[in-house]
Structure 1
Amino acid sequence: MDVPPGVKGWSWGAFWLNWVWAVFNKTWIGLLALVPVVNLVMPFVLGFKGREWAWRKGSWRSVEHFRQVQRKWDIAGWVLLAAVVVVAGVAAFVANRPYSSAEPIQTTQESRPEGAELPKAARSDAPYPLPRVGYTPLNLAAAMIEAGIDGPWPSELESYLEEPKDYWRKCVEGGMSFSNRLGGLKGAEAREWAEQSCRQTASDFFECLDGKSLAAGVACIKKVTDEYGQTGD
């Protein structure tokens, strides 16, 4: 069948929509676009020869009718491409948007949202500022043990967050005993030294944990406890 002027030309509809375009235009060779490897070449073949094949396979009222239909396919192909680009862009934005923490939020009943404060009842009577954390004291203790922070530190940090009044009492009592035994301090002097030491320790813990991820907090605590071990505090 001779192809009249105005039929031949590049087909964006056949290029972008390939096998779908081929089915509706009865150009069955276009189904090769479904075959692996061949599908890398077939869109270009359809783009170049598609209009000519479609003309020969279809029952068109006129050349103008054919061109109108193929123009719609071209528009549909570009619309599909635009939609794919938009969806890919949104997906990339969602996948790469910044998070407040690299740590996954715990999903157990004990967990708190990232950045959540401890219960107000525990904060209201705490003798020192408590950090804002997004994990439970038990999570912290377990992560410390896993990081090789041994001895009394995991349980002390758990008590520091969960039972601040009890932690403070034990810290001051232990500090007074230490200052009395090794420093020869008595009474008010021993208590003043112990409270100052405990305030410094609580401040170090606060700096390590406040608003930090679990991993960052544990790394900081490890550094602090290593320094304590070297100084004998």
Structure 2
Amino acid sequence: MFCTSCGAQAGAGSAFCSQCGKPLAAAQPAVSLDKAGSQPMWRPGQMDEEMPDGVKGWSWGAFLLNWIWAIGNRTWIGLLAIIPYVGFLVAIWLGFKGREMAWRAGGWQNLDHFNRVQKNWSRWGVGIVLALFIFGIVSAVLIPAHMADERTTVADGTPYDDFDDILPATPGTRLERGRFNSAAVPLSASLNTSAGILKRTKGADGNYRMTVSGTPLFKGEDAQWQFPVRSFNQSNGREAILMASSGGRGNSCDTLFFFLLVDADRVSNTPLFGTCAAQGRYRQRGDTIALELPKTGGVSQILLRNGEVIEDGRTITLDKLNDPAR
């Protein structure tokens, strides 16, 4: 080492020149702060021209998870995906531009770190959407089947599919089945029965009533709301006519039913029954008629057997509340 002032040679490690006494200037090696092979952390605000290759591209995570992805990547404008109607358009925009916005938001160690995180977002997005799609298909198949299973029993535990079996099989009889709907077009306003012509007739007071050969069946408040729904032929020329009583019970119950039991000598009626539903299914074998009416949580079963009405296993007796003549 030589003194830069006087040129004299100085000893190694000396701080001052032995000839002139001036301090010796030691050469300091340049220090590099960059580590070999490392990439600088991306800083927010850098321009697109400085954006590295491999950042731009489609993002399934941003498209499928949109606002969730936006929160996780601090891309707050992506929260617009929550807004109805425009949300889908925002999701498409995030799919195209989301990676670039996430890169600008900063916080990435390097490009590899950024790509790993975005790839995980895409995997989660595809996985969740695929799981929801499969769940929707399975639900569409299983829920109707489950609802059908719930309808397989009526209130007294009789299997719905075995409903036909509760009707007694007698020689020479066959099972008839179908549907009825009192809200649809009712039976003809005039029916020729063994007791005479059953007809809905307008009275002097302007109200309609069911009459047999001109004689009103009932004169109570419910009479103006009654009309025939279906006629069932029975043995020895008798008939069982399913009647609806609609409107007379107020808005709380749309429809109740009863049977008119008609033969050549007399016309009688059963008590009112029903679940307030206007439609259902029927089965008939011989003189026994079975009805199914929907109700909350299942189906109600009504049997007409030997002139008696049995509702969900319980025989209904005529009283003031269920009398069609009231």
List 4+ stretches of structure 1 deviating above 6 A. 98-101, 129-134
Closer, same or farther in 2 for the Cα pair 1:86/1:100, shift >3 Å? closer
Residues in 1 aligned to 2:291 and 2:146: alpha-carbon distance in whole angstroms: 14
Is 1:32 the counterpart of 2:80 in the alignment? yes
Say which structure is richer in helix.
Answer: 1
Deviation, 1:147, is 2.5
Taking the TM superposition and a 5 Å limit, the aligned residue runs for 1:193-232 are 205-206=284-285
Residue 96 of structure 2: which of 12, 37, 48 is its match? Answer: 48
Superposed displacement of residue 64, structure 1: 0.2
- Cα deviation 1:35-62 (Å, max 9, x = unaligned): 1122020011100110011011130011
Aligned match of 1:112 in 154, 158, 179?
Answer: 158
Q: Rg: which structure is higher?
A: 2
RMSD (Å), alpha carbons:
4.4
Asked whether 1:70 is paired with 2:70, we answer no
SS at match of 1:148: strand
Deviations 1:94-135 (A, max 9, x none): 35659989xx567534x622122656xx96xx754998999x
Under a length normalisation based on structure 2, what TM-score does the superposition of the two structures give? 0.38
CA contact (8 A) 1:25 1:58 kept: no
Match of 2:239 in 1: 153
Give the whole-Å Cα distance in 2 for the aligned partners of 1:108 and 1:54.
60
In the alignment, the residues of structure 1 paired with residue 57 and residue 143 of structure 2 have an alpha-carbon distance, to the nearest angstrom, of 41
TM-score when scaled to structure 1?
0.51
Helix, strand or coil for the counterpart of 1:10? coil
The gaps in structure 1 that reach 5 residues or longer are: 135-143, 156-173, 175-204, 216-233
The answer for unaligned runs of 5 or more in structure 2 is 1-45, 178-186, 188-226, 242-262, 264-283, 294-326
Alignment of 1:43-192 (within 5 A): 43-94=91-142, 107-109=154-156, 112-116=158-162, 128=171, 147-149=229-231, 152-154=238-240
In structure 2, the CA distance between the partners of 1:97 and 1:106, relative to structure 1 (3 Å rule), is closer
CA contact (8 A) 1:26 1:58 kept: no
Identity %: 33
Alpha carbons of structure 1 residues 36 and 5: separation in structure 2 relative to 1, 3 Å: same
How far off is 1:4 after superposition? 1.3
Secondary structure, aligned partner of 2:230: coil
Structure with the bigger percentage of strand: 2
Report how far residue 89 of structure 1 moved: 1.0
1:84 counterpart SS class: helix
